[in-house]
Amino acid sequence: MNVRKAVFPAAGLGTRFLPATKASPKEMLPLVDKPLIQYGIEEAAASGLTQAIIVTGRGKRAIEDHFDISIELEHALEAKGEYELIEELRAIANLMSMCYVRQKTPLGLGHAILCASGAVGDEPFAVVLGDDIIDARVPCLKQLLEVAGEHRASVIALERIPREAISRYGVIDGTQVGDRLWSITDLVEKPPAEEAPSDLAIIGRYVLVPAIFPLLEQIKPDRKGEVQLTDALRALAAEEPLYGVVFEGKRYDAGDKLGFLQATVEYALKNGELGEDFRHYLRSLPL
Ligand code: UTP
């Protein structure tokens, strides 16, 4: 299975992070020294994908500027002799080839992905939710792509979630068919804990076949008026094989204030330039 393109839905309102997201895109919140969305783009590039399709909405222009070349900034840095920094900024613009589509109204994740159908075309593609920051030895998307290639089917990332938190996630039902591999028979979005079919939650990495698009078109919006990707995946699982991989690595929900702070602390501690001083600082706090 040859996967080249990754869709990055980034048109959500970011209500969990208000007021920070009132006038700035959530995707541009800095995790140590890079905006959240850059981590997702770097993961996709490290997984061998070459084309990013970012689904944006109103007030998200900063994302486009971030992955573009800034001539004025480069001139200013050149005048100061900051050549290394220029190289660093250029590298961001060259991570993947970028394409932007607009979701005019935030009608849900499923609808956002459908907005990218023209840019994806008739080929398998990845979906990366930039809120989910994943620290892994082998990039999470690469772990999925390996399974997708082997089974020639759609694959989604899974994580075991404690029962008390499971109602915040999409949850799968299925059979274990490998070490970390599940064959999915059904999916349910945000079930009450006592009705959840498993403790395996869907998290923000997917490799999907283009057959998902006509299914997304048929999905009726939920009570909140949102088209849920989970509903289309459910229809897909009824028609063809769908796999889930319990990925190896650690995920942070950076779209949530606490998850964002956890990611910030752990990434800062691991940072080559800041880590030691930051550790020292944390130790000095009267916790
Ligand atoms: P989330 O629900 O996590 O993001 O959607 P959100 O809607 O921005 O945040 P909250 O819940 O209001 O705080 C998961 C992903 O789907 C995208 C979001 O940008 C995020 O990457 N999304 C969601 C869209 O692109 N369009 C939508 O209509 C909804």
* pLDDT of 272 higher than 90: yes
pLDDT over 90, % of the chain: 98
Which residues span the domain enclosing 101? Answer: 5-255
As a dihedral over the C-alpha atoms of residue 17, residue 33, residue 109, residue 250, rounded to 10 degrees, the angle is -100
Task: For residue 277, give the H/E element and its range.
Answer: helix 275-284
CATH of the domain at 133: 3.90.550.10
Cα 81 to averaged position of ligand 1 atoms, centre (Å): 40
Q: Considering the domain boundaries, does residue 279 fall inside one?
A: no
Q: Considering the domain boundaries, does residue 21 fall inside one?
A: yes
Rounded to the nearest 5 percent, the helix, strand and coil shares of the chain are 40, 25, 35
pLDDT at 75: 94
Pocket of ligand 1 (CB under 6 A): 9-16, 26, 55, 103, 106-109, 111-112, 129-131, 255
Lowest-confidence segment of 14-23, 147-156, 234-243 by average pLDDT: 14-23
- Mean pLDDT to the nearest integer, 213-220: 97
* pLDDT of 95 higher than 90: yes
* pLDDT of 178 higher than 90: yes
Tell me the average pLDDT of the chain: 96
**Please, which pLDDT band fits residue 287 given cuts at 50, 70 and 90?**
confident
pLDDT tens figures, 27-47: 999 999 999 999 999 999 999
Pick from 58, 131, 203, 222 the residue to mutate for probing ligand 1's pocket: most ligand atoms within 8 Å of its CB: 131
Q: Considering the domain boundaries, does residue 268 fall inside one?
A: no
pLDDT tens figures, 256-271: 999 999 999 999 999 9
Q: What pTM did the predictor assign?
A: 0.95
Q: Considering the domain boundaries, does residue 273 fall inside one?
A: no
- Residue at token pair 């403790």: 199
Q: Considering the domain boundaries, does residue 267 fall inside one?
A: no
Cα 108 to averaged position of ligand 1 atoms, centre (Å): 7
Q: Considering the domain boundaries, does residue 24 fall inside one?
A: yes
- Mean pLDDT to the nearest integer, 13-23: 92
Question: Omega before 221 cis (within 30°)?
Answer: no
User: What is the distance between the alpha carbons of residues 121 and 117, in angstroms, rounded to a whole number?
Assistant: 6
- Mean pLDDT to the nearest integer, 198-226: 96
Q: Considering the domain boundaries, does residue 25 fall inside one?
A: yes
pLDDT at 57: 93
Cα 272 to averaged position of ligand 1 atoms, centre (Å): 32
Q: Considering the domain boundaries, does residue 260 fall inside one?
A: no
Counting the structural domains of the chain, the total is 1
Nearest atom (ligand 1) to Cα of 18 = 13
Question: Cβ–Cβ contacts within 10 Å for residue 259, how many?
Answer: 17
pLDDT at 1: 85
